[in-house]
């Protein structure tokens, strides 16, 4: 397993980060334990969760993800060996059951961190992330930004001041952003420098062969400012494996279980997926492994967040860390990208 430094910190994180958003709903605790055990055996030292998880988000299951991670850390006695990341939920009707008047303000963040620490059974969180912005902007596939300053929510400076309190109290080591724009990242960095507040060290955004929009503006910001990209959905909800081509819906697969997750199934996305699958097969590669290895190969990616419905998928996904792609294959991938640029932003 390869390890990278997280942003400008001294934390060494594995190139593969185990995403856990289905623990507690699609995965039982026993299944989750099996996945985390195997991942750690393969050198994975980075776990990513959220107070909102598991998904699909619901009042019935909310928080079970962190509870399962906490139970595993306690059972294995390995908290000091793992880098644990979780997230505080942003505002929105879909999560209004978590707390009243959701926002990234002092009351909400304080309540969130208290409950996350309790569920995770730990005294501190290595990477505490803001799940999405507290303002009207583009995320979760939204396009065509509409300026609505009246919906700006909690001022970024106020959020940073609260995060400083958590760092000072030893509850959080570092903080990161998620589903954020280039402007948002720069504003957090600017205010942190001006007011001597914590600098964001990572950004967790969607990034895959079907969605390379981060390369338009974000990746320059990240590299110049020493902020790690932590891609999520690197397989586009599993679409890049090819298993959903030609209308297939394999039993037990994520989109089969949750058909509303159709973000990566538009016509152009399917055409691009077919091209990438054909390319992988021409090289004798598993399409999913090739897609993950391409993400792993980006200089600005320090940890690739993978998830798996079963152990076979998990083993293949983690194995992608050892695949080195030659220039010919990388050029062929670029040719497909030029033909089908960002079909699923």
pLDDT at 256: 87
Cα–Cα distance between 20 and 69 in angstroms, integer?
Answer: 8
CATH number of the domain enclosing 75: 3.20.20.100
Task: Identify whether 7 is part of a domain.
Answer: yes
Task: Identify whether 310 is part of a domain.
Answer: no
Summarised one tens digit per residue, pLDDT across range 132-190 is 999 989 898 888 899 999 999 999 999 999 999 999 999 999 999 999 999 999 999 99
Which three-class secondary structure state does DSSP give residue 293? helix
Summarised one tens digit per residue, pLDDT across range 11-52 is 999 999 999 999 999 999 999 999 999 999 999 999 999 999
Task: Identify whether 254 is part of a domain.
Answer: no
Residue 262 has pLDDT above 90, yes or no: no
Mean pLDDT calculated for residue range 111-124: 98
Task: Identify whether 267 is part of a domain.
Answer: no
Give the domain extent around 189. Answer: 3-204
Residue 282 has pLDDT above 90, yes or no: yes
Q: Beta strand 12-14 with 3-5: parallel, antiparallel or unpaired?
A: antiparallel
> Catalytic pick from 23, 38, 53, 283?
53
φ and ψ at residue 29, rounded to 5 degrees: -60, -40
How many domains does one find in the chain? 1
Strand boundaries in 31-109, DSSP class E: 46-48, 83-88
Task: Identify whether 231 is part of a domain.
Answer: no
Whether 61 is catalytic: no
Summarised one tens digit per residue, pLDDT across range 1-11 is 999 999 999 99
Task: Identify whether 169 is part of a domain.
Answer: yes
pLDDT at 120: 98
Cα–Cα distance between 178 and 156 in angstroms, integer?
Answer: 14
Summarised one tens digit per residue, pLDDT across range 92-110 is 999 999 999 999 999 999 9
Task: Identify whether 158 is part of a domain.
Answer: yes
When the pLDDT of each residue in the chain is averaged and rounded to a whole number, the result is 96
| Closest residue by Cα to residue 85 from 9, 146, 174 | 174
Confidence of residue 261 (pLDDT cuts 50, 70, 90): confident
pLDDT at 99: 95
Cα–Cα distance between 119 and 78 in angstroms, integer?
Answer: 16
End-to-end alpha-carbon separation of the chain, Å?
A: 30
With a CB cutoff of 8 Å and minimum separation 6, the contacts of 143 are 345
Confidence of residue 254 (pLDDT cuts 50, 70, 90): confident
Task: Identify whether 196 is part of a domain.
Answer: yes
């Amino acid at each position: 397993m390869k390890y990278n430094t997280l942003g400008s910190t001294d934390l060494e994180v594995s190139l593969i980060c185990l995403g856990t958003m289905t623990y507690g709903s699609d995965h039982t605790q026993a299944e989750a334990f099996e996945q985390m055990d195997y991942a750690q055996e393969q050198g994975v030292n980075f776990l990513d969760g959220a107070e909102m998880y598991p998904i699909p988000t619901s009042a019935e299951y909310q928080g079970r993800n962190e509870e399962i991670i906490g139970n595993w850390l306690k059972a294995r006695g390995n908290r000091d060996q793992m880098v644990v990341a979780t997230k505080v939920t942003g505002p929105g009707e879909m999560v209004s059951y978590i707390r009243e008047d959701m926002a990234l303000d002092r009351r909400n963040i304080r309540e969130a961190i208290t409950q996350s620490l309790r569920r995770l059974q730990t005294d501190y969180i290595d990477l505490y992330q803001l799940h999405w912005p507290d303002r009207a902007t583009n995320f979760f596939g939204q396009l065509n930004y509409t300026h609505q300053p009246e919906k700006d929510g909690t001022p970024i400076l106020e959020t940073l001041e609260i995060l400083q309190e958590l760092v000072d109290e030893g509850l959080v080591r570092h903080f990161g952003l998620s589903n954020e724009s280039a402007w948002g990242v720069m504003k957090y960095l600017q205010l942190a420098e001006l007011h001597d507040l914590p600098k964001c060290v990572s950004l967790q955004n969607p990034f895959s062969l079907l969605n390379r929009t981060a390369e338009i503006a974000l990746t320059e910001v990240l590299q110049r400012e020493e902020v790690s990209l932590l891609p999520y959905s690197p397989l586009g909800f599993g679409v890049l494996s090819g298993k959903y081509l030609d209308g297939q819906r394999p039993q037990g697969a994520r989109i089969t279980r949750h058909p509303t997750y159709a973000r990566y199934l538009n016509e152009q996305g399917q055409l691009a997926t077919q091209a990438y699958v054909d390319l992988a097969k021409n090289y004798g590669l598993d399409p999913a492994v090739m897609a993950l290895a391409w993400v792993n190969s980006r200089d600005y990616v320090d940890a690739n967040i993978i998830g798996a419905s079963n152990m076979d998928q998990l083993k293949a996904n983690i194995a992608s860390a050892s695949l080195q792609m030659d220039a010919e294959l990388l050029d062929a991938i670029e040719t497909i990208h030029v033909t089908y640029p960002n079909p699923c932003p």
